[in-house]
Amino acid sequence: MNSIKLFDTTLRDGAQAEGVSYSTHDKLQIAQALDRLGIHYIEGGWPGSNPKDNQFFKDARSIDLKKARLVAFGSTRRKGVRAAQDANLGAIVDSQVPVACIFGKSWDMQVTHALRTTLEENLAMIRESVAYLKSKRLEVIYDAEHFFDGFRSNRPYALRTLQAALEAGADNLTLCDTNGGSLPSQITDAFRVVRRVLPKAAWGIHVHNDSGCAVANTLAAVEAGATLVQGTMNGIGERCGNADLSVIIPNIQLKLGKRVLNDAQLRSLTEVSRSISEITNLVPNDRQPYVGNSAFAHKGGIHVSAVSRHAPTYEHIDPVTVGNQRRVLVSELSGKSNVILKAKEHTLDFVKNGKVTQAILDALKKRESEGYHYEGAEASFELLVEKALKRYKPSFELGGFRVVVERKAGDSRALVTEATLKIKVNGREEHTVAEGDGPVNALDNALRKALEKFYPALKEMSLVDYKVRVINAAAGTAAKVRVLIESMDGKDEWTTTGVSMNLIEASWTALVDAIEYKLLKDSVKPSHKVK
């Protein structure tokens, strides 16, 4: 049986997603990450279509791809133009890649309405374009655009387009569900026919997700005989996106039993998925199968208790297999097992059925009834546990704070925000004043200004995200708000939370937890060298 090859088009089809714009440096970084993962083909873009893609192919010659083959994308020759004189095909050759992927029309309606040419001329365009690229000693993957729509509209003609590409020497015929509207049964039916009509061809699949079936359609194609799988990391792409390789890869390997990556490469899947999201400037989808932050998160007490005894009760695979990890969530739905396992994650040890466990659980449920939410604020949860264990000692005492937001009449400048703060560390009082871009930033600046004298390690720490959610919106301006603050220090990231009817108070609680957690995890004690 032929092995499955992976073809990533994040840099071309993925770049067409709304809100996505890659620099050349971004594309080079992603290409190297995909190569590290073990992707066989990386489609770098459409040379000749824009300066950025041209620069990418030029710069890509200097990077050392260990496994992947770089692919240049383009279309068949234009109507009425010889393949050897077609600028698009010439740009593919000039890019100096070893593989070309060109698309041609399979749907008769597209030929007559989009290309505005004859069905016979379209066949000649396919045949001559493939033959020209093969004459340049390139591996040629032919993308049969709109194939499944064409197959349903005019089956004999759609099959003739495939035959034209195959006769010209195409190494692979990839069937494309370009509009993303097909269902798995339609994919299977089409593959059954094309494999019977053209038994010597090697087949690929390229689908979009407009009907929500991209992953399912891809797997159906693999089961029906496709040996080249096209998609993008995290499913980004035009409209509703492309087939998600970060989901397809483990499904092929772990569910269908067809090996596409070695074990170490598969374990890097989550890391590569998240790093590409970061480069793309997209927030990772927590609920993404296999690689999402919530993919192996357990909240219900019964679930957690079962998983702690035998993981397969509520996990379809071992998360480590794809580089992810089990997460135990704590909430008002938690049982003692949640608290025990969550404590173990933070290397906190106490007896399973002890009074401390119950005290933590009771405190947790009380806090959540007040609006706290610890699922995404694990640093605040750890501080809660430390307090229950009576191991927590505040790093400072608050004497009080005041925040003033001022805009004088007739003054067109931006609002001026100032925070005044009094704290005490080891009996020594500090009184600081700081400005900021808004009350929370001003308060954060004042607190750091006061504490960094005693705790220099806080200079490593920065606030990277700030979120506010209204808890009981029906209360209008008297509603409670929940604040989440994400912090980092170059080594770790952590999230803390605060809840109040007052936004400043909720933010203050989260800010203090963020600092306390930093000092706790580093076991930092106050300096005695403060002048």
- Mind listing the pLDDT tens digit for each residue in 433-445? 999 888 888 999 9
Question: How high is the pLDDT of residue 369?
Answer: 74
pLDDT digits (tens, 9 = 90+) for 489-508: 877 888 898 999 898 999 99
Question: What whole-number distance in Å separates Cα of residue 202 and Cα of residue 130?
Answer: 15
In this model, does residue 371 exceed pLDDT 90?
A: no
Question: How high is the pLDDT of residue 333?
Answer: 46
Question: What whole-number distance in Å separates Cα of residue 422 and Cα of residue 401?
Answer: 6
Element (H, E) at 162: helix 155-167
- Is the whole-model pTM more than 0.85? no
Question: How high is the pLDDT of residue 40?
Answer: 98
- pLDDT higher at 415 or 321: 321
Alpha carbon of 326 to those of 166, 490, 491: distances in Å? 47, 23, 21
| Overall CATH class of domain 5-261 | alpha beta
CATH topology of domain 397-522: Double Stranded RNA Binding Domain (3.30.160)
Which one of 118-132, 279-293, 482-496 scores highest in mean pLDDT? 118-132
In this model, does residue 531 exceed pLDDT 60?
A: no
3-state secondary structure 241-309: CECEHHHHHHHHHHHCCCCCCCHHHHHCHHHHHHHHHHHHCCCCCCCCCCCCCCCCEECCHHHHHHHHH
- pLDDT higher at 293 or 322: 322
pLDDT digits (tens, 9 = 90+) for 390-399: 778 888 999 9
DSSP string, 49-105: T-HHHHHHHHHHTTS--SS-EEEEEEEPPPTTS-GGG-HHHHHHHHTT-SEEEEEEE
CA angle 462, 466, 468 (to 5 degrees): 160
Q: Which residue has the tokens 């979009």?
A: 208
Contact criterion met (CB below 8 Å) for 297 and 327? yes
In this model, does residue 1 exceed pLDDT 50?
A: no
pLDDT digits (tens, 9 = 90+) for 296-320: 776 655 665 666 666 777 778 888 8
Question: What whole-number distance in Å separates Cα of residue 162 and Cα of residue 236?
Answer: 28
Query: Do the domains 397-522 and 5-261 match in fold?
Result: no
pLDDT band per the 50, 70, 90 thresholds, residue 345: low
Residue 474 φ/ψ, nearest 5 degrees: -65, -20
Question: What whole-number distance in Å separates Cα of residue 228 and Cα of residue 138?
Answer: 17
Task: Look up residue 202 and give its two tokens.
Answer: 């090697």
Q: Which of 463, 480, 464 is nearest to 472 (CA)?
A: 480
Domain residues of the chain, as ranges? Answer: 5-261, 297-388, 397-522
pLDDT digits (tens, 9 = 90+) for 224-241: 999 999 999 999 999 999
Helix axes 336-345, 378-388, angle to 10 degrees: 100
